[in-house]
């Protein structure tokens, strides 16, 4: 197993993973051109964050994305774990555990990181249990959003 930062040549596969995530977790069909452009933009602009991928059995079998959020309360960055995807045949085999360990290892090398956050669908009990076993806990915060007028990202 190799865990590494994603490269530009991984963009198509990462976009496919995101399409799968959206469908599996929310029954949302993403527009392939939009998600592919979004993945490429992240890969071309490392100040936005990065992807980690798991190479195993001659292919990428899992990935996640890290973005940052500045916390003035803590004078540091939270790393937001997003877009966690593990191919179905590789689930429940510890790939996320290894990805999360790598996230923490990278964060320990960066003194600006103060913690890790993620959001998970309230009905995705298996994912919640996985995150709890890695030492994460549910916070007191709820997530709200409003999208800009005219934004199209799903079919």
Kindly tell me the burial class for residue 114, based on how many C-beta atoms sit within 10 Å of its own C-beta (0-12, 13-18, 19 or more): middle
Q: Is 121 left (phi over 0), alpha (psi -120 to 50) or beta?
A: beta
Kindly state whether residue 62 falls inside one of the protein's structural domains: yes
At residue 44, the pLDDT reads 97
Residue 63: CB partners within 8 Å, gap ≥ 6?
6, 14, 17, 51, 52, 53, 54, 83, 84, 85, 99
Backbone phi and psi for residue 96, each to the nearest 5 degrees, phi listed first: -65, -40
Please count the structural domains in the chain: 1
Q: What distance in Å separates the CA atoms of residue 11 and residue 113, rounded to the nearest whole number?
A: 26
Does the pLDDT at position 15 exceed 90?
A: yes
- Read off the pLDDT of residues 100-148 as tens digits, 9 standing for 90 and up: 999 999 999 999 999 999 988 888 898 899 899 999 999 998 888 888 8
Q: What is the pTM of this model?
A: 0.91
The answer as to whether 145 is a domain residue is no
User: How far does Cα 64 stand from its chain's mean position?
Assistant: 3
For residue 149, give the DSSP letter.
T
Is 30 within a domain?
yes
Residue 24 lies in a domain: yes
Q: In what order do the strands lie in the sheet with 59-71?
A: 2-5, 49-56, 59-71, 76-86, 113-118
Tell me, what's the pLDDT at 121?
A: 85
Contact 45, 38 (CB under 8 A): no
Q: Is residue 141 part of a domain?
A: no
Q: Residue 28 sits in a domain of what CATH number?
A: 3.40.630.30
Is there a domain that residue 127 lies in?
yes
Residue 124 is predicted with a pLDDT of 86
Range of the domain at 18: 2-133
Which pLDDT tens digit goes with each residue over 36-93? Answer: 999 999 999 999 999 999 999 999 999 999 999 999 999 999 999 999 999 999 999 9
**Is residue 92 assigned to a domain?**
yes
How far CA 12 is from CA of 7, 16, 60, 65, in Å, comes to 11, 6, 11, 15
Contact 29, 18 (CB under 8 A): no
142 domain-assigned: no
């Amino acid at each position: 197993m190799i865990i590494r930062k994603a490269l530009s040549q991984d963009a198509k596969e990462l976009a496919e993973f995101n399409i799968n995530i959206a469908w599996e977790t929310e029954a949302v069909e993403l527009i392939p051109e939009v998600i592919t452009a979004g993945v490429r933009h992240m890969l071309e602009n490392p100040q936005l964050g990065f992807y980690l991928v798991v190479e195993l059995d001659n292919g990428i079998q899992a990935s996640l994305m890290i973005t940052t959020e500045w916390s003035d309360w803590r004078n540091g960055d939270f790393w937001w774990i997003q877009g966690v995807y593990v191919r179905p045949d590789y689930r429940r085999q510890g790939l996320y555990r290894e990805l999360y360990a790598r996230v923490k290892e990278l964060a320990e090398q960066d003194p600006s990181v103060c913690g890790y956050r993620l959001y998970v669908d309230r009905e995705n009990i298996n994912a919640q249990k996985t995150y709890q076993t890695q030492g994460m806990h549910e916070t007191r915060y709820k997530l709200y959003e409003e999208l800009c007028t005219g934004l199209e990202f799903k079919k």
